[in-house]
Structure formats: structure tokens, C-alpha cells
Amino acid sequence: MKRQLERPELVLFESALFRTVTTLVIGEQYLLLVDPNWLPDEVAHIADLVVPLTKGRECFLLFTPLRLRPHHRLR
């Protein structure tokens, strides 16, 4: 899985599906994971990085809403 950016406080993961991006913010007392990727192997890859970092930190998971333009429809 591609990592667009990797710093001690921030990791950006790029999904192979639609090139969506998952953001991991690493604070001293918290972890914030935004919009986990879609594919099972990508989610497992992210978990492999996140799980060891959870000790002693509060963990947050944020999903941003899907916004459809008028010409897009879910079927």
C-alpha cells in the first residue's frame, strides 16, 4: 500500500481503489484515523501500523460523509 506521506505525527495512506486517502494523525496522547480505506488488505496494513501505537493513547475514528453531486445517484 502506498504511503503518500510519512512523518512522526502524520501518515497518509493511498488506496488502490479510487486513490482515496486515509489520514492517521499521531499525537502524544491520541490517535486520529480518518476515512479508513476500502480494501481488506489495506485496512489490515493500516491496523498493523496503528495497533502498536494505541498503548496509552485515546483513539478516535472519523468518517467523512459521502456527498453526491446532483448527477450522481446510488442505485
pLDDT (tens digit per residue) in 32-72: 999 988 899 999 999 999 999 999 999 999 998 876 666 65
Nearest to 20 by CA among 37, 4, 33, 5: 37
Between CA 43 and CA 58 the distance in angstroms is 20
Statement: residue 74 has pLDDT above 80? no
φ/ψ of residue 32, rounded to 5: -125, 120
Strand, coil or helix: what is 60?
strand
